Amino acid sequence: MILTVTPNPSLDRTYEIPALTRGAVLRAGADRVDPGGKGVNVSRAVAAAGHRTTAVLPLGGPEGTLLSRLLTGQGIDVAAVAVAGRTRVNVSAVEPDGTLTKLNAAGPELTAAESEALLAAAGRHAAAGAAWTVCCGSLPRGLDDGWYAELVARTHRAGARIALDTSGPALLRALAERPDVIKPNADELADAVGRRLVTVGDAVEAAEELRAAGAGAVLASLGPAGQVLVDGTGTWFGSAPVATVRSDVGAGDASLAGFVTAGGVGPDALAAALAHGAAAVRLPGSVMPAPADLRPEEVTVTADVPFGRPLSLPRTRPHPRSPEGAVR
């Protein structure tokens, strides 16, 4: 069983539009409402692949009720923690070339009691036989930067492995508790080490630093440049080219779901991550791929890492993080 923890879930409404014009009245060609939040997306992808999953998340208001109903309808066990605030609603506009404009609401502010209830629920369900706990996304108001570190510690005490997909100070503080896997993108990787990353080799070096700081493995998404995995089995590079991107909402979450359901270790897990991520971007909104959507024959994974290959979108401005915030 794969357990997910999403401290700031959402309802995601996606509109497909011909073009985004500021100040204009736009007519959508199609729209949909999906359960949202990075951990929620992981559960949706795990369920779509035919595996059992439980989603631990705070829910409030009619939005929370609808979110729970949508998840249950997708075969996901919902472990809801009731909160006083209302679950947020996010809005996305997707253009024909795949360009995404997203408005994310802040979400409710959790109390100290609600924070503890969420941690307790995660620990209780992890101890009930979870192979992995996957915790993802930004922290809502009311949870401090050490919340994920406490979740990692409690998950390990419950006997489960944990994959963490977050960024900034929350990621850096969690490293001390030695998460089994972390999944940064290129920008988050650069933020964590406090410097620009220009090549795949730079990304590998940064991943090695995060492993030295406590991460068991680093699965780094580099956008169109591919993905790298640095773990106890070695350093691996993979790619899965996609000719037409329909929507990249939730693609990274689908990738992480593929990784953990394939065991979460080594090149086979990386290949599964790439296949799931590539399938997700070919689908509308935040639809998660089913097995029939996967094209594993289009995935390439190798130990021959192209260290000199440029990243597609290197930073072109001074890095905002001070040296004191970087991992050394």
Is 82 exposed, middle or buried (CB count within 10 Å of its CB: 0-12, 13-18, 19+)? exposed
CA 301 to chain centre: 21
Torsion on CA atoms 59, 185, 206, 6, rounded to nearest 10: 10
Q: Is the dihedral of CA 306, 281, 219, 268 positive or negative?
A: negative
What is the DSSP annotation of 60-96? Answer: -HHHHHHHHHHHHHTT-EEEEEE-SSPPEEEEEEE-T
Matching residue, tokens 């999953």: 53
Residue 77 is a catalytic residue: no
What is the rounded distance in angstroms from the CA atom of residue 205 to the CA atom of residue 162?
23
Cβ atoms 12, 36 nearer than 8 A: yes
By C-alpha distance, which of 260, 253, 258, 265 is closest to 293? 258
Task: Label residue 279 left, alpha or beta by phi (over 0 means left) and psi (-120 to 50 means alpha).
Answer: alpha
Q: Catalytic: which of 253, 268, 293, 304?
A: 253
Strand partners of residue 34: 12
What is the DSSP annotation of 206-271? Answer: HHHHHHHHT-S-EEEE-GGG-EEEEETTEEEEEE---S--S--TTHHHHHHHHHHHTTSSHHHHHH
CA 82 to chain centre: 23
What is the rounded distance in angstroms from the CA atom of residue 31 to the CA atom of residue 14?
5
Task: Label residue 258 left, alpha or beta by phi (over 0 means left) and psi (-120 to 50 means alpha).
Answer: alpha
Catalytic residues: 253
